């Protein structure tokens, strides 16, 4: 009978020890899961920031290309104006003299 009682106490002690280890493992795994979730959230946030940075960079590049195109267009128009002025050509319809109505034949 004493032998059986000792065996029962051994089993209870063994179960208690295993239970404590399992609880410690559960806590450890819970902490790891929290860390993974935090890491995933940070990575997603960084991913969004990177996408926003890339979108802003694309917008800046597009804006720079448009500015360059406008600058080139302005340069071409200035050159055309200078060429017309050198040749004595009218540069715009407003520069052309309207026909003189008084000198016209009736």
Could you give the CA distance from residue 46 to residue 54 in angstroms, rounded to a whole number? 12
Confirm if 21 and 29 have CB atoms less than 8 A apart: no
> What's the whole-number average pLDDT of the chain?
89
Q: In this predicted structure, what is the pLDDT of residue 63?
A: 97
Q: Judge whether residue 52 has pLDDT over 70.
A: yes
Q: In this predicted structure, what is the pLDDT of residue 58?
A: 97
106 pLDDT tier (thresholds 50, 70, 90): very low
Q: In this predicted structure, what is the pLDDT of residue 94?
A: 62
Against a cut of 0.75, is the pTM above it? Answer: no
Distances (CA, A) of 5 to 1, 11, 12, 13, 77: 6, 10, 10, 12, 107
Task: Give the residue extent of every domain in the chain.
Answer: 33-86
What is the per-residue pLDDT across 67-97, written as a single tens digit (0 to 9) for each? 999 999 999 999 999 998 888 887 766 655 6
Q: In this predicted structure, what is the pLDDT of residue 87?
A: 87
CA torsion through residues 28, 33, 37, 39, sign? positive
């Amino acid at each position: 009978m004493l032998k059986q009682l000792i065996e029962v106490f051994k089993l209870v002690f063994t179960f208690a020890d295993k239970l404590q280890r399992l609880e410690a493992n559960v806590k450890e795994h819970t902490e790891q899961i929290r860390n993974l979730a935090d890491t995933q959230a940070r990575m997603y946030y960084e991913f969004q920031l990177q996408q926003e940075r890339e979108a802003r960079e694309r917008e800046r590049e597009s804006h720079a290309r448009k500015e360059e195109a406008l600058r080139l267009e302005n340069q071409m128009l200035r050159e055309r104006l200078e060429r017309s002025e050198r040749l004595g050509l009218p540069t715009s319809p407003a520069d052309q003299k309207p026909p003189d109505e008084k000198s016209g034949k009736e």
